[in-house]
Chains A and B, each alone.
Chain A
Amino acid sequence: MARKQQKEISEHVDLVHGVLYGCLKQIREASKSNNDSEPGLISVWCCEIHPSQTQKLASIIRDYVTPKDEISLSHLKRFLKSDAEVPILKTVFCSALFLSSEADVRDFISEYSTIELLKVYLIEVPRYAPSTKEISQQWSARYWPISWKGNPNHQFLNNVDFDIKRGKEIVRTLFDELQSNDYDSRSVSIFTKQNGEILCKTSYNGSNDPYDHSIMKGIEEISLLEKKSRNRNDGEDSNYLCQNLTVYCSHEPCVMCSMALVHSRIGRIIYLKESLGSGGLESNYQLGDRDGLNWTFEIWKWIEPTDVSNLDAIVSHGHQMTNY
C-alpha cells in the first residue's frame, strides 16, 4: 500500500518544503509539523465494554461521533483488547471537547443503544498523527495504538486538488485589479468557487476604516449574492455563508479579516505578501489552522518569483503596520 502511494507521487509536489507547482507554499502551525519528540496531547473519553458490544459502539462512533466531533481521531485505533482474564474492550469514543462529562458520554450512548458501559474515563492521546513509522511505534507503546497510514501531511499534499492553470489566471486578474486606475487600491481580494469561477473582486484603498478591508467587502458581497439567489430560487441550492470558497488576496489579511474568514467557513486562502505586523495567518496566531476554533481552512502563500517581485514593486509604498 505504502509503495503504491510512493509511485503515485507527482512531480509537482515538493514534500520537503510543502510546495506545489513551485507556486503554492503551505503555511502551517509549527507544532503540527515539528511534533516528533513530544506529541501534543489531548483528552479523550475511553469506554470499556464487553467485546460482544463492539459492533453497536462502532456504528455509534461512525454515524454520530466522527461526523460531528471537531477533533479528528482518525490517526488512532479505536479499539484495544485488554489482556485481562475477563475479556474487555477499551474504546476511544470521542474527544473531551465533544462531550464534557462522564454523564454526558453515558447519556449520549444511551440515546442510540443499550450498551453496558463497564467504565468511562479520560485518557490522554497524541493530538496529531506522527510523521514517521518509528515515532508511530513509540507513541503507540507510550499512549494508545496509532494507526500508521504514512505521513499525514505528505498524503495531504499529494492529494490537494488544485487547478494550477486556473490559479495562475486568477493571480493575473488579481494584478489587473491592483493596477487598475479606477481606484486607489492598496490590496485586492477575489472570492471564487472551488471550480475557480470568480464570484466577486473587492479592493481596499488604504483608509483607516476597517469596514473598507477587501475581505470584509467580499464577505458582504457574497451574502448579497446569496440573498438574491435565494429570492430567485425559493431557497433551492442555497449556500451557507462562504462555505468552502477559495479566497485569493494580494496581502495576508489582518487579524480581524482572518477571523472573519473562519466565521465565514471558507475552504482555502491563497495570498501573496505577508503582513508581518498586522497579519492574522503566518504573522500572528495562524487563524484558519488553529485548534479550538470551530472551523479550519487551507492556508497557501503564492511564491511564484516573478509575481512576488512584481507585487513588491507595486506595493512598495505599503506600510508594515497597515491592516489589510
Chain B
Amino acid sequence: MSDLTPDFIEMAKCLFVGYKALTINETPVSCLLEDRSTSSIISIGYNYTNTSLNGTKHAEFIAVRKLKDKNPDIDFSTVKMYVSVEPCIMCASFLRQLGIGEVIYGCSNDRFGGNGTVLSVHSDSNLPQENYTSYGGILRTEAIQLLRNFYIQENESAPQPKIKKNKEIENKTFPPNRFNLSREEFIDHYGVERIGVFESGEEEITPKLGKGYSLKEFIDLKSLKDIPYLEEDLGVVTEDQVNEFLDLFFDISDDGKVNYSKAIRKFNSKKRHLEE
C-alpha cells in the first residue's frame, strides 16, 4: 500500500508558507517547487497581489520567477509543484507553457480552477504544448480552513469590500471531497485501496489508509526554518507562529473524517497588530 507521508510533509510546509503570507495580509495560497530526482525544495511562492498591486502575482508566478532567476535554463519537466489551492486558469496555462512535470494541490478552486474544476487547461489537447498530470486532495480541509482565515479579514485593497458574514469558522464543516480525476486516474495515483475516498466524497486522503493524522506530525520549527527563501522573504519563523499555525486546524480521524471535537483557533490579524 502506498504511503503518502512525503506528500503530506511537503504540503504541510507549503501551507505554512501560506500562513506566513497571511501575516502580511496576502491571500494564503502558496506553493513549493521540488526537484523530482532529489526531492529537495528549490523554490517557494505565495500570493503577492495585494502588496504588488498586480493581480497576476499568484504563488506559482512568484515561485517560478525565483527559480528562473537562479537557473534560467531549468527544464521544468524535472520539477514538481505542491500548491495549496488548485491553480487558476491563468496559472494552469502558465504551468502548461513551462512544461511542468507534475502538480499536487490541496483543495480545489471553485471559482477559477484551471486543473479540472472550472476548465481543464492541464489536459485540454486542443491547446499547444503537452498536457501535465495534476492531483488534488492532499491536506484539502486544511487548505480550505487557511483560506477561511483570510476571508474573515477585510480585504481593504479591494473596492467596496463585501460585507463579511459568518465569521464562525471554528464550527464550519467542509464541502464534499471531489477529485478532478476519472476513477482510473484516481486508482493509478492513490491506489485501488483508497477507492472508498473517491466514491464516498466524505472522507479525506490520509498518509496511510485507515490511520488519521494531525498536522504536527509533519512539521516542526527546524523543518520550517529550513524552507529556502521563507525567512528572508516573510520574516523569521518563531515557535509561537508554528503553534498558532497548528492550532488553526482540526485533526483527521482514522476513518478519514474531520474530527470536529478539537477546539481550533482562528487567525486574528488585529490582535497581532496590537501585540506588536
- Which residues of A line the B interface, CB within 8 A? 67-68, 104, 107-108, 111, 208-211, 216, 219-220, 222-223, 226-227, 230, 240-243, 254-257, 259-260, 262-265, 277-278, 280, 284-285, 287, 292-294, 321-323
Chain B residues with CB below 8 A from A220, complex form: 54, 56
B118 contacts chain A at the CB level, 8 A cutoff = yes
Q: Do A293 and B126 have beta carbons less than 8 Å apart?
A: no
B15 contacts chain A at the CB level, 8 A cutoff = no
Chain B residues with CB below 8 A from A277, complex form: 126-128
Closest to A243 in B: B159
Q: Do B126 and A284 have beta carbons less than 8 Å apart?
A: yes
Q: Do B119 and A285 have beta carbons less than 8 Å apart?
A: yes
A284 to B119, CA, bound (A): 11
B134 contacts chain A at the CB level, 8 A cutoff = no
Nearest CB on B from A224, distance (A): 8
Chain A residues with CB below 8 A from B89, complex form: 255, 259, 262, 285, 287
Q: Do B112 and A241 have beta carbons less than 8 Å apart?
A: no
A280 to B114, CA, bound (A): 13
Given contacts A211-B65, A255-B127, contact A241 B97 (CB under 8 A): no
Chain A residues with CB below 8 A from B52, complex form: 223
Given contacts A223-B53, A227-B53, A260-B90, contact A240 B158 (CB under 8 A): yes
A211 to B66, CA, bound (A): 12
Given contacts A211-B65, A240-B159, A321-B128, contact A256 B54 (CB under 8 A): no
Chain B residues with CB below 8 A from A256, complex form: 90-91, 93-94, 97
Closest to B97 in A: A210
Q: Do B127 and A241 have beta carbons less than 8 Å apart?
A: no
Closest to A280 in B: B93
B271 contacts chain A at the CB level, 8 A cutoff = no
**New contact pairs (17) apart from A256-B93, A259-B88, CB-CB < 8 Å:** A210-B94, A211-B68, A216-B56, A219-B55, A220-B56, A223-B54, A240-B157, A242-B55, A243-B159, A254-B93, A255-B127, A256-B97, A259-B89, A259-B93, A265-B55, A280-B93, A284-B124
Closest to A275 in B: B128
Closest to A225 in B: B53
Chain A residues with CB below 8 A from B157, complex form: 240
Closest to B53 in A: A223
Chain B residues with CB below 8 A from A242, complex form: 55
B272 contacts chain A at the CB level, 8 A cutoff = no
Closest to A208 in B: B97
Q: Do B128 and A278 have beta carbons less than 8 Å apart?
A: yes
B121 contacts chain A at the CB level, 8 A cutoff = yes
Question: Interface readout for B95-136 with A: 1 if CB under 8 Å, 0 if not?
Answer: 001100000000000011010001101001011100000000
A182 to B128, CA, bound (A): 29
Q: Do B118 and A264 have beta carbons less than 8 Å apart?
A: no
Q: Which of under 10, 10 to 19, 20 to 34, or 35 or more describes the interface residues of B? A: 20 to 34
Closest to B61 in A: A211
Chain A residues with CB below 8 A from B222, complex form: none
Chain A residues with CB below 8 A from B114, complex form: 259
Nearest CB on B from A223, distance (A): 4
Nearest CB on A from B111, distance (A): 7
Which of B88, B91, B97, B111 makes the CB contact (< 8 A) with A292? B111
- Which residues of B line the A interface, CB within 8 A? 52-56, 61, 65, 68, 88-94, 97-98, 111-112, 114, 118-119, 121, 124, 126-128, 157-160, 162-163, 165
Given contacts A259-B90, A321-B128, contact A254 B97 (CB under 8 A): yes
User: Could you jot down 23 A-B contacts, CB within 8 Å?
Assistant: A107-B165, A111-B163, A210-B98, A219-B55, A223-B52, A240-B158, A243-B159, A255-B93, A255-B127, A256-B91, A259-B89, A259-B112, A262-B89, A262-B90, A263-B55, A263-B88, A263-B90, A264-B55, A278-B127, A292-B111, A293-B112, A294-B111, A323-B93
A318 to B164, CA, bound (A): 49
Most chain A CB within a 10 A radius of its CB, from B92, B112, B124, B127? B127
Most chain A CB within a 10 A radius of its CB, from B94, B124, B157, B160? B94
A108 to B158, CA, bound (A): 22
Chain B residues with CB below 8 A from A264, complex form: 54-56
Q: Do A284 and B112 have beta carbons less than 8 Å apart?
A: no
Given contacts A256-B94, A323-B128, contact A68 B162 (CB under 8 A): yes
Nearest CB on A from B80, distance (A): 19
Q: Which 4 A-B pairs have the closest CB atoms?
A: A259-B90, A256-B93, A223-B54, A255-B93
Chain A residues with CB below 8 A from B163, complex form: 111
Which of A219, A292, A322, A323 makes the CB contact (< 8 A) with B56? A219
Nearest CB on B from A86, distance (A): 32
Chain A residues with CB below 8 A from B98, complex form: 210
Chain B residues with CB below 8 A from A210, complex form: 94, 97-98
Closest to B165 in A: A107
Given contacts A284-B126, A287-B89, contact A255 B121 (CB under 8 A): yes
Chain B residues with CB below 8 A from A323, complex form: 93, 97, 128
A209 to B56, CA, bound (A): 16
Q: Do B65 and A241 have beta carbons less than 8 Å apart?
A: no
Most chain B CB within a 10 A radius of its CB, from A216, A259, A292? A259
Chain B residues with CB below 8 A from A257, complex form: 90
Nearest CB on A from B110, distance (A): 9
